[in-house]
Chain A
């Protein structure tokens, strides 16, 4: 199985280097590579439970020579398994979406796409900090070219903004990662003679669990890591690069950017911030939750105001990723599992929606909602596919969105109503309650968009068409064909997964739960400890409190006592 992992990782790169020929050969070859990688991912996902603890691993040779003990160490565990599979799946979608849309410089295009696949898969499987960072940064380059060459009218600005924003953040992340390594190296409890400079992520996680980093330092390192990951996610005030990049990117670029690359940031938070810096996570929890909440509501409100579908979907990503981060930073078993599942769900539904937007654009050359009115009758198949994706996005029970969002929010509420209540209980409860509004707003903007695009009646049919230009592109006389077989093939794997996750979430949660529970254990303990301390200090306050207050608190104590 370890060999399967290695092959799946490097097959796209080999394809990028070896494939050549005209457009037909390139796209066929890329599709073949993407499908093979997908099959490998499915095989590994199905057989995941057979593998030894720590997942499929491949750890072979020292990479950087004698000076730095950087290893080429890759492995799949519960956290990376589904993100790996998601990447493989979305790459098939991306190739199929580009089938007709990309007409010029195709050979370069498909090569970049395949190189990007290796980069993204590598991020999720790397088990060495430097290897992780290499893949993490490397994903920027192909996407930079994909946006800048095949993007929309503002592509140059979008590509530069995307690269510079993320690069600026990730160099600070590098400092954070190196600080972790150095902290472990200079750890006082280790005999100086036995010191070794390790870059191995499992070793470091283990070591930091045994002797946690100094709390003050944890905060600084957390913030350094935060700089890169939060821009990537993107968390609320750092999201400004995202709408531009999404709107200008070619369809496949948007699918991959939303589907996979945003998760790279979330993955980094889970793998490093939460797992390695538990006390900082606990200490900063309210701040992080507020930021996530701001993203949820801000993204949803801005999405509501959009007239361009692609921008709308882009802002909906900000909102959905806010949910993922809310779940992750609530550090509760349920919420974290929901959060990781929601990352996958968001990739499926939003990736699919971007593909739908691309298909609409190919037909009508516009993305304005006002110009795309009432398409259901003319594009019934597309209407159906879009419906499932929209419903998945708004978390209809029975579809994947619900399977992720429900445990996520449940976990957040558990965290907020935990007893004895922590000192910041009011904040947590307000956040939990307000986050529900994101669900409602999400349904609002998505369904409203869907209704307008597919079912709305044009005002003053016929007359208005020529005069005001509204609905011109989608005018009745234009002959538009419905989805082709290729397009249906492109979206149906997403639909299969949407229903599968929705109907049998346990298949997915079971495989990720052990790893996640283990990863967040220190952070959970840190939060619990903080809460207990708060509770204890409150009890000591009780003794000095006035009688009225004593009454309230004693009732609280009665409730909590077993």
Chain B
């Protein structure tokens, strides 16, 4: 009964206006294709990185010129989040380009650089999509070049395992995601029958369908479908975010690849996955928020706990950072759960603002750490074990200090940026749980309308979260202790080039600056979260039968 019909009026939407809106992405993709082609004829080596940098600059210039926020309708939505994510993508792209500026020894530099540009364009598109098809295409625009990147980065047996593992699991997750999307289209089909002007693949149609659902008959069926879709979509995206139990690949893949690749894997797919989660769980199906937050919260707590415990035994640098990136994903999901549960109503502790703040801070620290490791390596050797960093604080004081700053920021020690991220996450969780306080003293619960008793979950989450932060301190500090308390065992010759060095300096300075004065970044992320979006759990709790809740 679902009709895959796109209204005639929509077909005309691919006008010049839309093209102009997508110009930053188009530039990147065009340059990437040009680089692919030219690479067959010319061994440009270092030049490719410069070209990529120029493409990113050009894209940024075009984005800068597009001052107005426009809801173009159709498959595109350029709102505050899209703006923020596009700038974030360009910034990450620039840093990653710096990080991988050393030409590959085995050739294939042009393909490498081109793929990097494509993933950046993919991340930008993910944020601009208001349509399931476009969202899926954008996510694949990140995944497919990543397979290539993983294969190009190294030339030994490990890369084959790592690339193959990533490829198969990524394809599987895409399939799950697509399956979830098909259910969402089905749900949206109900809205068509109710006469919405939206195509069934648009978020707006899903939104309308769920809003229009009444409690009886059709409504219950719709809710069941929506729940199924929600779980499948979340599972598919969890792979990209590296949430437990879809995190298995990360340590193996990171270990088997290069530092720039590991940095890219721990940033771009994760950011894309989180943006997509927000788009679907918060924007497209706010009516499902009362169910969604429970799922996200449980996964978040599992993610941070499992990863932090596993990380304690790691001796490989990239493996350790893989577990670190998994555990940090747990904190990000906690912020998402807060946003879904209505934490954003109280302004100061906006879950989504926290999420984006955390993403930026995490990205800087992780990139910085990988950049230093890359800088310390060379064309023929890579820093693999943590013990290779021994005594770095003495032999290379600057590199040691920068690595220490990145690790301490990931730990959440003030006055580095990571502290504010943790403060906002835990504060948000406590704030969402604060309704409990109201119940204790018999206030009319003014905080939010979460069902009775469920706010305890957030108090528990805050406690589990801070304990996790304490556990995580153990392995981050191990790296710091290695840098400063050990006598140097091997002499590291930093042959990584100036690109990674520059990226590391930039990341470290930003971490310190945002830690000492977090105001500007906080404002930016608050604006990113403050797009035109309807509130979530509040109205939904009243209208939806909460089957999920009753089983808790």
- Chain A residue nearest to B526 in the complex (CB): A67
Q: A148-B485, A171-B467 are in contact. Are A164 and B522 (CB under 8 A)?
A: no
- Quick check: is A197 within 8 A (CB to CB) of the other chain? yes
Cβ-defined contact, A178 with B415, below 8 A? no
Q: Pick from B408, B414, B437: contact of A214, CB below 8 A.
A: B437
- Chain A residue nearest to B433 in the complex (CB): A182
Cβ-defined contact, A182 with B431, below 8 A? yes
The smallest beta-carbon distance between A121 and chain B, in angstroms, is 15
Residues in B with CB closer than 8 Å to A178 are 426-427, 430
Inter-chain CA distance A538–B437, complex, in Å, is 34
Cβ-defined contact, A134 with B419, below 8 A? yes
Q: Pick from A68, A179, A183: contact of B348, CB below 8 A.
A: A68
Cβ-defined contact, B523 with A186, below 8 A? no
The smallest beta-carbon distance between B332 and chain A, in angstroms, is 18
A147-192 residues at the B interface, CB under 8 angstroms: 148-149, 155-156, 159-160, 163-164, 167-168, 171-172, 174-175, 178-179, 182-183, 185-186, 188, 192
Cβ-defined contact, B419 with A67, below 8 A? no
Cβ-defined contact, A63 with B466, below 8 A? no
Interface of A is mostly: helix
The smallest beta-carbon distance between B397 and chain A, in angstroms, is 8
- Quick check: is B434 within 8 A (CB to CB) of the other chain? yes
- Quick check: is A548 within 8 A (CB to CB) of the other chain? no
- Quick check: is A18 within 8 A (CB to CB) of the other chain? no
- Chain A residue nearest to B468 in the complex (CB): A171
How many residue pairs, one in A and one in B, have C-beta atoms under 8 Å apart?
Answer: 119
Residues in B with CB closer than 8 Å to A140 are 413
Q: Pick from A66, A144, A149, A217: contact of B437, CB below 8 A.
A: A217
Cβ-defined contact, A65 with B523, below 8 A? yes
Inter-chain CA distance A156–B397, complex, in Å, is 19
Among A137, A149, A168, A186, find the residue whose CB has the most chain B CB atoms closer than 10 A.
A186
Cβ-defined contact, A68 with B414, below 8 A? no
Cβ-defined contact, A174 with B426, below 8 A? yes
Cβ-defined contact, A175 with B485, below 8 A? no
Cβ-defined contact, B348 with A148, below 8 A? no
Tally of A interface residues using CB under 8 Å:
46
Inter-chain CA distance A69–B519, complex, in Å, is 10
Cβ-defined contact, B522 with A163, below 8 A? no
- Quick check: is A133 within 8 A (CB to CB) of the other chain? yes
Please choose the segment from B195-203, B300-308, B438-446, B491-499 that sits at the chain A interface, where 4 or more of its residues have CB less than 8 A away: B438-446
Q: Pick from A130, A141, A164: contact of B470, CB below 8 A.
A: A164
Q: A134-B419, A164-B477 are in contact. Are A156 and B437 (CB under 8 A)?
A: no
Inter-chain CA distance A216–B519, complex, in Å, is 36
Inter-chain CA distance A135–B430, complex, in Å, is 22
Residues in B with CB closer than 8 Å to A65 are 518-520, 522-523
The smallest beta-carbon distance between B401 and chain A, in angstroms, is 10
Cβ-defined contact, A64 with B522, below 8 A? yes
Q: Pick from A105, A144, A156, A197: contact of B394, CB below 8 A.
A: A105
- Quick check: is A424 within 8 A (CB to CB) of the other chain? no
Cβ-defined contact, B423 with A130, below 8 A? yes
Cβ-defined contact, B526 with A186, below 8 A? no
- Quick check: is B484 within 8 A (CB to CB) of the other chain? yes
- Quick check: is B473 within 8 A (CB to CB) of the other chain? yes
- Quick check: is B64 within 8 A (CB to CB) of the other chain? no
- Quick check: is A59 within 8 A (CB to CB) of the other chain? no
Q: Pick from B414, B420, B423: contact of A138, CB below 8 A.
A: B414
B207-224 residues at the A interface, CB under 8 angstroms: none
Inter-chain CA distance A134–B438, complex, in Å, is 29
- Quick check: is A145 within 8 A (CB to CB) of the other chain? yes
B499-552 residues at the A interface, CB under 8 angstroms: 517-520, 522-523, 526
Q: A67-B348, A160-B481, A171-B467 are in contact. Are A188 and B441 (CB under 8 A)?
A: yes
Q: Pick from A135, A163, A172: contact of B466, CB below 8 A.
A: A172
Residues in B with CB closer than 8 Å to A67 are 348, 350, 353, 522-523, 526
A70-107 residues at the B interface, CB under 8 angstroms: 105
- Quick check: is A560 within 8 A (CB to CB) of the other chain? no
Residues in B with CB closer than 8 Å to A64 are 420, 518-519, 522
Cβ-defined contact, A159 with B426, below 8 A? no
The smallest beta-carbon distance between B436 and chain A, in angstroms, is 9
Residues in A with CB closer than 8 Å to B484 are 145, 148-149
Residues in A with CB closer than 8 Å to B350 are 67
Cβ-defined contact, B446 with A192, below 8 A? yes
Residues in B with CB closer than 8 Å to A133 are 414
Q: A137-B414, A145-B484, A175-B430 are in contact. Are A66 and B526 (CB under 8 A)?
A: yes
- Chain B residue nearest to A182 in the complex (CB): B434
- Quick check: is B474 within 8 A (CB to CB) of the other chain? yes
- Quick check: is B447 within 8 A (CB to CB) of the other chain? yes
Cβ-defined contact, B443 with A186, below 8 A? yes
Among B408, B430, B478, B523, find the residue whose CB has the most chain A CB atoms closer than 10 A.
B430
A and B contact pairs by CB, cutoff 8 A, 28 listed: A64-B420, A65-B518, A65-B520, A66-B519, A66-B522, A68-B348, A134-B419, A137-B413, A138-B414, A145-B484, A156-B485, A163-B473, A163-B477, A164-B474, A167-B411, A167-B473, A171-B470, A175-B430, A175-B462, A178-B427, A182-B431, A183-B434, A185-B434, A186-B438, A188-B441, A188-B443, A197-B348, A214-B440
Q: Contacts A144-B477, A172-B463, A186-B434 known; list 4 others, CB within 8 Å.
A: A66-B522, A167-B413, A182-B431, A188-B438
Top 9 A-B pairs ranked by shortest CB distance?
A: A65-B519, A168-B470, A171-B466, A134-B414, A148-B485, A65-B522, A67-B522, A214-B441, A156-B485
